[in-house]
């Protein structure tokens, strides 16, 4: 299986979902609830999380 | 980008299942530093899990906060070849963290994931391989365990 490498640039701060076949971002929501709502009824969706900003602190360990 | 280098994280497509309730496919982050499988409690709501009826509770430091993590044994599904191919499902304790989510919704740690598979990660290859757990012994020979 070919690994999927999604480019999240331009989606910083958004909650995203990917097309499971291509890895392309197909939903970019402002919050978690909106992400789940927009994903309902759609096929081939993988829900990611929030895309961090480049200068955002990353917690060490379980972020 | 961090320190001038692109970030690559070892995500795999998974879902959580509780009875006839299943989450969307989710990005699960393979985390060798996590002692167990941990997930956002938002997913417990989605699965209809009553965390007051938990299988165990522990206190963890998560994202700079101290949180009471409550565990429930549920199904975890891994989609090794995409969603149209058969998934692999097993039962494992999943710790639900209150009000937590990060770059993904699930951390795939030691108990519940790394005890199920042999995982090889390579930034050089920009890929992660998840194999049957006996693959480790096949490659390196059996290692005595306590």
Each domain of chain B, given as residue ranges in start order, spans: 11-139
Q: Where are the domains of chain A?
A: 15-50
What is the model's pLDDT at position A53?
A: 87
What is the nearest CA distance from B24 to chain A, expressed in angstroms?
A: 7
DSSP 8-state secondary structure symbol assigned to residue A36: H
φ, ψ of residue A33 to 5 degrees: the values are -60, -40
What is the model's pLDDT at position B47?
A: 96
Over residues A19-32, the pLDDT tens digits come to 988 889 999 999 98
Task: Mutate one of B102, B120, B131 to test the A interface: name it (highest A CB count within 10 A).
Answer: B102
Residue A53: closest C-alpha in chain B: B1
A45/B31 Cβ within 8 A:
no
What is the model's pLDDT at position A59?
A: 66
Contact assessment for residue A19 and residue A30, using Cβ atoms and an 8 Å cutoff: no
Instruction: Name the residue among B69, B23, B85, B15 with its Cα closest to residue A39.
Output: B23
pLDDT band at A62 (very low <50, low <70, confident <90, very high): low
pTM for the whole structure: 0.89
Neighbours of B138 (CB within 10 A): 11
- Rounded Cα distance between B74 and B92, Å, is 6
CB-based contact (8 Å) between B90 and chain A?
no
What is the model's pLDDT at position B63?
A: 66
What is the model's pLDDT at position A60?
A: 61
B60/A62 Cβ within 8 A:
yes
With pLDDT > 70 as the criterion, what percentage of chain A qualifies? 89
What is the model's pLDDT at position B83?
A: 66
Q: What residues pair up with B17 in beta bridges, in sequence order?
A: B22, B75
What is the model's pLDDT at position B128?
A: 92
Q: Give me the residues of chain B with pLDDT under 50, please.
A: none
Superfamily of domain B11-139: Acid Proteases (2.40.70.10)
Cα pseudo-dihedral A34, B2, B78, A50, rounded to 10: -10
A49/B102 Cβ within 8 A:
yes
Over residues A6-53, the pLDDT tens digits come to 888 899 999 999 998 888 999 999 998 999 999 999 989 999 888 888
What is the nearest CA distance from A53 to chain B, expressed in angstroms?
A: 9
What is the nearest CA distance from B117 to chain A, expressed in angstroms?
A: 17
């Amino acid at each position: 299986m070919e690994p999927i490498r999604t480019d999240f640039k331009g989606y910083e701060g958004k909650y995203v979902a990917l097309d499971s076949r291509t890895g392309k971002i197909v939903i970019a929501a402002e919050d978690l609830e909106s992400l789940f709502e927009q994903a309902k009824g759609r096929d081939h969706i993988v829900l990611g999380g929030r895309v961090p900003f480049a200068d955002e602190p990353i917690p060490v360990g379980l972020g | 980008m961090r320190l001038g280098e692109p970030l690559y994280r070892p995500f795999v497509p998974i879902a959580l299942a509780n009875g006839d309730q299943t989450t969307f496919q989710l990005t699960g982050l393979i985390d060798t530093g996590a002692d167990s499988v941990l997930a956002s409690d938002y997913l417990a709501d989605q699965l209809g899990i009553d965390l007051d009826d938990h299988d165990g509770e522990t206190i963890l430091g998560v994202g700079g906060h101290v949180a009471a993590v409550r565990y429930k044994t549920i199904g975890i599904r891994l989609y090794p070849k995409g969603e149209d191919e058969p998934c692999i499902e097993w039962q494992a304790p999943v710790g639900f963290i209150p009000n937590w989510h990060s770059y993904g919704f699930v951390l795939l740690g030691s108990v519940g994931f790394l005890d199920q598979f042999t995982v090889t990660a390579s930034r050089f290859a920009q890929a992660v391989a998840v194999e049957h757990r006996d693959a480790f012994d096949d490659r390196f020979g059996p290692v005595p365990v306590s």
